[in-house]
Chain A
């Protein structure tokens, strides 16, 4: 059923927080995602021409780097892009077969690959470019929020989080329930002013991005270093300044 489920106010709203302040752009999330998911729910994630001149394939994370702002206030921002598990996902409602669906119990957006006819319309309906077509199987694939990890009771409890979150070396990715105000993700969004991507399109993405922190570590200007401490230096500074 591709009509959206009636929202259940008590249901979980699972998603990711991605910290653009600490992301170092190492692509580890993309690689570990590929590694897990090529054997997981959406398996396989094919590669085309992997050792040739035009390697290409299905990935659920793409890591961009941008330059933001100009002059002293500018900075480099690494930007991991993946499915945002929107609350108003048009990729679901356009699906003619019922293959694309949003789960009532936790809000995860999934594709039933046994029903998908490969019309690609869902990928056209996604403003975030999150869905990638499997040219070999002829069906659409997308991030599952590692549904086969987060509920996997054969994994130790601390490992029940998406592969991208588990592997991030700078702890820039966090997983949790946005419907619980006490969850780590809700608190991070509140403390750091987490933002929606392209809110003007009305998809109400669940994932939030934490903008780079503006506060810098304050250091005393170096040319006034002689004012402190050493008496000899101060005397020299006085004499030479005449």
Chain B
């Protein structure tokens, strides 16, 4: 599948933003946030900024962005529509969370509104994952790994932002550093399990079953219907990634998970926390972008069987 920049930005940025929102709510519940009137509201603005940037980026890949409002209507059947509804629904409680904190501090009502916002954010990430996980013609997406992967990656990248905010605000990463380490190792394990799974999957169909010619056994393409790429091949016949997949996977594991986790651990132990966490966040952003590029580029669509791909 073609890794369009808009969907790469959508899926990574909303992961960062909604992951952070979830951790802000949890930290508020556990009383782990700095006793500042400003820290939490600033955190919410950062979280919503990431989420909104991702959502706006995804609108840019629409053929008719001015009609985007119509996408809120089909939540009964469409995960894309559900994603839109959930993301829109997350904004009022998130803003309420920030306002209540600013006005009342960590009162029970603040925490409850915060937990609602955090949950809606994670629901949005789940809906995004299910857009891909529900597509039957793409075996690398339509499996049990896709949704947990998206959730874990969102929680990991959110923890990274949380550590970044804390390190810059208080000069210490503390507990958040440990959280990054834990989430990073978990996310890396999930990603490795996903890759092992897609490498051992069998193709969904054969050219023989796609053409109804199973009686003949093997079927081979002879003449293509057209001699240039058409929409189907441009959108779904993307082949560039497969050549470099193994190396890019190693780069992903190192830059997205292992190095940042190590840096976060050192920061947690008190070694130039702000500097190390900034470096770790940049590495994670880069690594997750490559990871998401692979998620698309490595995905094969069953319709390309007709073209012998």
Instruction: Write out the residue numbers on chain B whose beta carbons fall within 8 Å of the beta carbon of A195.
Output: 212
Please encode chain B, from 65 to 78, with 1 for each CB lying within 8 Å of some chain A CB and 0 for all others: 10110111110111
Picked from B212, B231, B306, B307, the residue with its CB within 8 Å of the CB of A58 is B231
Complex Cα distance, B220 from A54, in Å, reads 25
Do A96 and B231 contact each other (CB < 8 Å), given the known contacts A77-B213, A127-B136, A197-B212? Answer: no
- Interface range on chain B: under 10, 10 to 19, 20 to 34, or 35 or more? 35 or more
Q: Is the CB of B80 within 8 A of A96?
A: yes
Q: Indicate whether A176 reaches chain B with its CB closer than 8 angstroms.
A: no
A63 to B78 alpha-carbon distance, docked (Å): 32
- Chain B residues lying within 8 Å of A93, measured Cβ to Cβ, are 77-78
**Is the pair A96, B63 in contact by a Cβ cutoff of 8 Å?**
no
Within 8 A of B (CB), among A121-168: 121, 123-129, 132-135, 137-140
| Shortest distance from the beta carbon of B249 to any chain A beta carbon, whole Å | 23
Q: Which of B47-55, B189-197, B261-269, B297-305 binds A?
A: B297-305
> B207 in the interface, Cβ–Cβ < 8 Å?
yes
Q: Is A95 interfacial (CB 8 A cutoff)? A: yes
Q: How many residues of A contact B (CB 8 A)?
A: 73
Report the minimal beta-carbon distance from A33 to chain B, rounded to whole angstroms: 13
Candidate in B137, B138, B208, B221 with the most chain A CB atoms within 10 angstroms: B137
Q: Which of A35-43, A64-72, A218-226 contacts B (4 or more CB under 8 A)?
A: A64-72
Binds B, one of A8-16, A112-120, A227-235: A112-120
Tell yes or no: B5 within 8 A of A by CB.
no
Residues B136 and A94 in contact, CB atoms below 8 Å apart: no
| A133 contact set on B, CB distance < 8 A | 63, 231, 235
CB pair B302 A127 closer than 8 Å: yes
Least CB distance from A175 to B in Å reads 18
Is B211 interfacial (CB 8 A cutoff)? yes
| Interface stretch (choices B21-29, B164-172, B222-230, B271-279) | B222-230
A83 to chain B, nearest CB (A): 12
**B225 to chain A: which residues have CB within 8 Å?**
30, 62-64, 81
* Inter-subunit contact A97/B232 (CB<8 Å): no
Other-chain contact of B304, A55, A120, A129, A203 (Cβ < 8 Å): A129
Q: Does B245 contact A (CB under 8 A)?
A: no
Q: Are B218 and A124 in contact (CB under 8 A)?
A: no
| A3-B76 in contact given A56-B230, A77-B211, A129-B236 (Cβ < 8 Å) | yes
Complex Cα spacing A200 to B74, Å: 27
Residues of chain A within 8 A of B213, CB atoms compared: 20, 66, 68, 77, 211-212
Q: Write out the residue numbers on chain A whose beta carbons fall within 8 Å of the beta carbon of B219.
A: 66-69, 77
Residues of A within 8 A of B254 (CB): none
CB of A196 within 8 Å of the partner chain:
yes
* B1 interfacial contact with A, CB 8 Å: yes
> With the chains together, A117 CA to B79 CA distance in Å?
15
CB of A132 within 8 A of CB of B63, answer no
* Given A64-B306, A198-B210, also A94-B80 (CB < 8 A): yes
Asked if A74 CB lies within 8 Å of chain B CBs, one says yes
CA of A99 to CA of B64, assembled, Å: 13
Cβ–Cβ contact B1 & A124, under 8 A: yes
Q: Please name all residues of chain A whose beta carbon is closer than 8 Å to the beta carbon of B212 when the two chains form the complex.
A: 20, 195-197, 209, 211
Q: Does A186 contact B (CB under 8 A)?
A: no
Q: Report whether A2 and B77 are in contact in the complex, using a CB–CB cutoff of 8 Å.
A: yes
Assembled-state Cα–Cα distance A195/B213 (Å) = 9
B109 at the interface (CB under 8 A from A): no
- In this assembly, does A79 line the interface, its C-beta being within 8 Å of a C-beta of chain B? yes
Given contacts A115-B70, A117-B62, A125-B137, contact A200 B226 (CB under 8 A): no
Report yes or no: A70 in contact with B215, Cβ–Cβ below 8 A.
no
Contact bitstring A188-199, B, C-beta under 8 A = 1, else 0: 000000011111
The smallest beta-carbon distance between B146 and chain A, in angstroms, is 14
Q: How far is the CB of A45 from chain B (nearest CB, A)?
A: 12
- Nearest CB on B from A29, distance (A): 12
Select from chain A the residue with minimum beta-carbon distance to B79: A94
Decide yes or no whether B17 CB sits under 8 A from chain A: no
Q: 5 nearest interchain CB pairs?
A: A118-B63, A138-B63, A129-B303, A69-B216, A68-B216
- Chain A residues near B (Cβ < 8 Å): 1-4, 20, 25, 30, 54-59, 62-70, 73-77, 79, 81, 90, 92-99, 115-121, 123-129, 132-135, 137-140, 195-203, 209, 211-212, 214
Add 13 more A-B contacts to A54-B229, A118-B64, A201-B136 (CB < 8 A): A2-B74, A68-B217, A90-B135, A94-B77, A118-B62, A124-B138, A124-B235, A125-B137, A134-B63, A139-B64, A140-B63, A200-B204, A201-B204
